[in-house]
Structure 1
Amino acid sequence: MSTPPLFFFFFFLISFPLYSLQTALIAPLYKHHTSLLYSISLHLKTPLRPASLYLDLGGAFSWIHCYQNYNSSSYKFVLCNTPLSNSFNQAICGSCVQAPSPICANDTIFSYAYPENPSLRDHFVDYDHPKLTDSENVITDVLALSTTGGSTSAPLRRIPEFPFACVKTNFLREVAKNVIGLAALGRSNLSIPSVISAKFSSPKYFAICLSGARSGPGVAFFGSKGPYRFSPNVDLSKSLTYTPLLFNPVSASIYTYWLPSYEYYVGLSAIRINGKVVPFNTSLLSFEPIHGRGGAKISTSTNYALLRSSIYRAFATVFMKEAVVLNFKLINAVEPFGVCYEAKSVGVTAEGQAKAPVVDLVMEKEKVVWKLGGRNTMVRIKKKGVDAWCLGFINGGEFPRTPIVIGGLQMEDHLLQFDLENFRFGFSSSALKEGTSCSKFDFTSANNTFF
């Protein structure tokens, strides 16, 4: 495993003053049940106002819609030839075409490189005719998150001069209503976890616990190795299992393709269903050095796992054989799913989850196994007279850039920790088996004290 360039984490330590951070920073994570995507709830601007940003686990740089009704006394443009401006790749130092205004200033940084809609990733890219983003200036403003000792939320902590790309309305296509931007959590030095670590000299760790429940949000932790406690006093950090984070040598972005990817890849070596090995060509998971095809990544940009067609067909075949043993009754599939079963033929747990064949994601040649039960493999569909349980793994096409993408459904109710100091990925057993869930973090003590 190679060590990533220092570019990814430390370049702008010099541009951020250090503050003391005694506790972790946290934020609620919401699932939008129409788009099936996730957002993070935090505070922005001066005076501080609540904001909802799209959660992009593999994003390099956060962006915000600032062309309409953006009012804040603390926002600034990033001037040319400053330490922060020098940490950007492909940024352009320029001036306004028209007269300077609240959304444009002379001798400041324009970024056409970093902001992107995550839906553009994993598509084949024509590098000679790229579809350019429509970003403008880079700005900084105040971002604030709650603090925690590991089990409850506490006062808000301000993060001054947090960098964003200022984007136009078209960037908000395909994101949930009321979302005004994107929160990047990738391994870039400009992502939220890296900025927090640089500003507060805190451990280079963050963790997410996604909730699919309508009863409550999940939670993100920044700047702490743990504990991560959920009601009734269950510390999910104690059940973490670790595997190395791998580095795809080529970024999926058309703007920084010469750099290693900002996304998180793991060394998946096999898939088993009820102990039966899914037969597929594992060489597909090796990274192709020119365009970065290959690998298995973890992504919040898709709710369901995406499998290359050849892998999907093998996976579905083994799953269906195991489902026959459980007397699941196959019915016509409901899009976008390829395999569905009559709901009344599928047994359910006390929590209302399917009693389904167990899927093992095997890493490090049998040494590390991420087990997924029915909570993370099947989806209940009730619509237009259909009541079905469908396999939550989707055919991702014949030649996707990434053959295996582990999506949001697979992550829900598992605590996931990203250790950027030791370049490893930690995952807990299902929180449901631990007697809790990702929706059971206590946010009730949050208040309006700022510091």
Structure 2
Amino acid sequence: MAASHLLLHLFLSLLTIKHLLAAQTTLFHGGFLLDVTKDPQTLQYTTHLLIGTPQLHTKLVVHLSGQSLWLNCAQSSSSRQLVSHGSLPCSMAKSGAQILVAPTICDIHEENPITGSANFGDLAEDIVTIVGDLGSAETVERFLFSCSGENLLKGLATGAKGMLGLGRSKIAFQSQAINNFDIPRKFTMCLSSSSDGFILSGASISKSLSYTPLISPNGQDGYYVNVKSIKINGRRLALHDGGQPVKGLEISTVVPYTTMKTPIYETFTKAYATAARSMNLTSVAPVAPFGVCFSSQQTVPEIELALQSELVKWRIQGRNSMVQVSDSVMCLGFVDGGLDMSSSVVLGGYQMEDHILEFNLGTGMMGFSRSLLMEGNSCSNLKRTLVSNPTESL
């Protein structure tokens, strides 16, 4: 009898071990998932990390092109260590920047792109606990980040303590995650208008993506792609930036709506209004920050961005082009960025919502899906599928 109980216990233990191993492998070969929520007041996308000892539930604004993870270090942590100047982590963080005066503690440049403010913060290292939605145990690793002053938090979503940079620098969060967890050099992002967005590190989740190269116009940091042309209802626009053709399109999570330099915006909105009138849409007084608004109707002109070639197209339709500002008024979700923009066109968060975006740092390519809404799907549904069936490709 005792032997039978022992065999049963051993059998159940083997099943448990098998289940745990399966749970680990379903973490996309070491990848992990972060929840992303849209803040309704600021329209920023936020996530959370557990940082330090004791663990601090830290709310961070997602900055796709951010070159580092920075946060306000007002709360103490027994596991936090400041990084000394001249150390290997400091050299990695500085990335060859000229140092005129060598401080004792490594200080690095921090930036808040919402307000445009910047300063230097002390580089530190602390424990980050990754808790995903894929059923695995907690994963703990040490990450580098900079400690910001309280003033740098201005303009961030309520409760946010810093920014999660996903850029291509050596100390951006994604770069550190790749090194810490030995995962593929890629991440997938799906933004939602609610709390159902996510960032998935180290994995691809769809085979139905179009791909275009990531570029670095004039050596700029961040994520940029070529844009060959912009069409409205199939009609190609002649767009120029200071007499030159528009070359790079910047992808941004901190710009709420797609933003264009004034000459480009004027040409674009004039053509859109013409196409809208031909579809019998009625123009109404604009509602800030938008410049073109209509009486609410069902069908609106289609916007098409031809990226690497005329065959690689990003279509912006309905939900991603129009913003419902009242029961009777909808506005074109594109804004005038003035003449001082560093980029000609910045693709904003609203236009990316409910699209799969894959950033492959290994191949230097960006993959993107058509709108999930056009297929009766959404980031919310996709996230639930991932949680319940992590190995399933969509």
TM class, shorter-chain normalised? 0.7 to 0.9
Q: Which ranges of structure 2 fall in alignment gaps of 5 or more residues?
A: 1-26, 389-394
Shift of 1:93: 7.3
Give the equivalent residue in structure 2 for 1:137. 122
Give the equivalent residue in structure 2 for 1:156. 138
Are residue 365 (structure 1) and residue 365 (structure 2) matched? no
- AA paired with 1:142? I
- AA paired with 1:223? G
Give the equivalent residue in structure 2 for 1:200. 181
Larger Rg: 1 or 2? Answer: 2
Distance 1:42 1:270 in 2: 39
Shift of 1:387: 3.5
Structure 2 counterparts to residues 303-382 of structure 1, below 5 A: 303-343=256-296, 346-347=297-298, 355-382=299-326
SS state at 1:73 partner: coil
Shift of 1:323: 1.4
TM-score (norm 1): 0.74
Distance 1:197 1:315 in 2: 40
Cα deviation digits, residues 282-318 of structure 1 (max 9, x gap): 76456xxxxxxx6210011211001111111111122
Distance 2:35 2:265 in 1: 33
SS state at 1:197 partner: helix
Distance 1:403 1:120 in 2: 20
Contact (CA 8 Å) 2:69, 2:172: kept in 1 or not?
yes
1:319 and 1:393, CA in 2 relative to 1: closer, same or farther beyond 3 A?
same
Are residue 171 (structure 1) and residue 168 (structure 2) matched? no
SS state at 1:433 partner: helix
Distance 1:379 1:178 in 2: 26
Give the equivalent residue in structure 1 for 2:199. 220
Distance 2:129 2:199 in 1: 14
Contact (CA 8 Å) 2:93, 2:170: kept in 1 or not?
no
- AA paired with 1:418? F
SS state at 1:429 partner: coil
Shift of 1:414: 0.3
- AA paired with 2:305? L
Contact (CA 8 Å) 1:298, 1:405: kept in 2 or not?
yes
Are residue 41 (structure 1) and residue 38 (structure 2) matched? no
Cα deviation digits, residues 180-232 of structure 1 (max 9, x gap): 0110011111111111111222110011100013xx320001122x22xxxxx
Give the equivalent residue in structure 1 for 2:76. 71
Contact (CA 8 Å) 2:68, 2:171: kept in 1 or not?
yes
Shift of 1:238: 2.0
Contact (CA 8 Å) 2:191, 2:379: kept in 1 or not?
yes
- AA paired with 1:86? S
Give the equivalent residue in structure 2 for 1:268. 227
Distance 1:156 1:428 in 2: 31
Shift of 1:143: 1.6
Q: Which ranges of structure 1 fall in alignment gaps of 5 or more residues?
A: 1-19, 96-106, 122-130, 228-236, 250-259, 287-293, 348-354, 446-451
Contact (CA 8 Å) 1:94, 1:110: kept in 2 or not?
no
TM-score (norm 2): 0.84
1:82 and 1:268, CA in 2 relative to 1: closer, same or farther beyond 3 A?
same
Bigger helix share: 2
- AA paired with 1:360? E
Shift of 1:178: 0.6
Give the equivalent residue in structure 2 for 1:431. 372
Distance 1:203 1:334 in 2: 44
Give the equivalent residue in structure 2 for 1:110. 107
Contact (CA 8 Å) 1:187, 1:263: kept in 2 or not?
yes
Are residue 32 (structure 1) and residue 11 (structure 2) matched? no
Are residue 389 (structure 1) and residue 330 (structure 2) matched? yes
Contact (CA 8 Å) 2:29, 2:202: kept in 1 or not?
no
Contact (CA 8 Å) 2:112, 2:152: kept in 1 or not?
yes
Contact (CA 8 Å) 1:172, 1:179: kept in 2 or not?
yes
- AA paired with 1:245? L
Distance 1:371 1:136 in 2: 41
Give the equivalent residue in structure 2 for 1:57. 64
Give the equivalent residue in structure 2 for 1:279. 238
Shift of 1:21: 8.2
Give the equivalent residue in structure 1 for 2:22. none
1:207 and 1:85, CA in 2 relative to 1: closer, same or farther beyond 3 A?
same
- AA paired with 1:421? G
Distance 2:79 2:100 in 1: 23
- AA paired with 1:306? T
Contact (CA 8 Å) 2:225, 2:308: kept in 1 or not?
no
1:375 and 1:154, CA in 2 relative to 1: closer, same or farther beyond 3 A?
farther
Distance 1:81 1:302 in 2: 36
Distance 2:229 2:37 in 1: 31
Shift of 1:38: 1.1
- AA paired with 1:426? G
Give the equivalent residue in structure 2 for 1:81. 86
- AA paired with 1:146? V
Give the equivalent residue in structure 2 for 1:128. none
Computed over aligned residues only, the root mean square deviation of the Cα atoms, in angstroms, reads 2.2
Contact (CA 8 Å) 1:93, 1:109: kept in 2 or not?
no
Distance 1:29 1:431 in 2: 17
SS state at 2:136 partner: strand
The total of aligned residue pairs comes to 356
Cα deviation digits, residues 39-81 of structure 1 (max 9, x gap): 1222211233322101111111111101x3x122211100233
